[in-house]
Amino acid sequence: MGPFSEDELKIYEWQLDLPGFGREGQERLKNTTALVSRVGGLGGAVCYSLAAAGIGRMILAHAGPLRANDLNRQILMTHAHVGLPRVTRAAQRLRDLNPYVEVEAHDCNITTENARDLVGRSDIVFDCAPIFPERFAMNRACVELGKPMIEAAVFGMEGQVTTVLPQHSPCLTCLYPEDPPAWKRRFPVLGAVSALAAAIAATEGVKVLTGLGETLAGTLLYFNAATMSFRRIPIARRPDCAVCGHGS
């Protein structure tokens, strides 16, 4: 049985049959701590898939109370929870889904001050934050500490996902060497499009952790759900990258 009880193993029966996954893959997930930045439209759906798949431990970071206009996309939330901290609702929902997952919830966003500590206590990071300072803080901590980061973003009907394997594939700063313009809190988005990017990101994470398949490291997967077109864009490391390049 190893680290699993009989009851726990039953949850995963259907995925244990996946070629290239099996019992070994399940044990790797169980032994993993995943940091997920934000539990909104994107991060909440990532969390749901990771908890269902049997990630052993999750660290969630998302500041602030739930608003009514979050409910078109934030699938871990409920209407009754409006006005209360999002992250406590997310943690409870994940424990209800899979009581074998440990959840640590922080009612704060990732900053340059807390990134190193939270990333350092994780084996993999899912960047689902809408604003760049937060994303860059996680990217730098991941590169410095050698932790893989799954990078996902949506805007309108478009989304993109890539996987950063520090020192092996381009980091977020290789992709965006200049700070992009400041993001408004509110942007157009359909919940199903967030969930689509989230499903790709969660799948990537499981692959990175278990060695199943081929990851998106070195490739930016871009999609436009309006036309349902998907493009794989090769991306390269920048030797002069301020975060992962020579002399950084």
The residue ranges that bind Zn ion (CB under 5 A) are 171, 173-174, 241, 243-244
Task: Record the tokens describing residue 51, joined without a space.
Answer: 């908890």
Q: Which uninterrupted H or E stretch holds 125? A: strand 124-127
CB of 114 to Zn ion, least distance (A): 22
Q: Which is nearer to Zn ion, 186 or 246 (CB)?
A: 246
CB of 166 to Zn ion, least distance (A): 9
Instruction: For residues 248 and 239, give the distance between their C-alpha atoms in angstroms, rounded to a whole number.
Output: 10
Instruction: For residues 50 and 47, give the distance between their C-alpha atoms in angstroms, rounded to a whole number.
Output: 5
Q: What is the three-class DSSP state of 75? A: coil
Q: Which is nearer to Zn ion, 55 or 244 (CB)?
A: 244
**Neighbouring residues of 178: CB distance < 8 A, sequence distance ≥ 6:** none
Q: Which is nearer to Zn ion, 209 or 244 (CB)?
A: 244
Measure the CA angle with vertex 196, ends 193 and 201; round to 5°.
130
CB of 132 to Zn ion, least distance (A): 14
Q: Which is nearer to Zn ion, 10 or 246 (CB)?
A: 246
Look at phi and psi of residue 172 and say left if phi exceeds 0, alpha if psi is from -120 to 50, else beta: alpha
DSSP designation for 55: -
CB of 133 to Zn ion, least distance (A): 17
Counted residue by residue, the chain has a size of 248
CB of 175 to Zn ion, least distance (A): 8
Q: Which is nearer to Zn ion, 105 or 174 (CB)?
A: 174
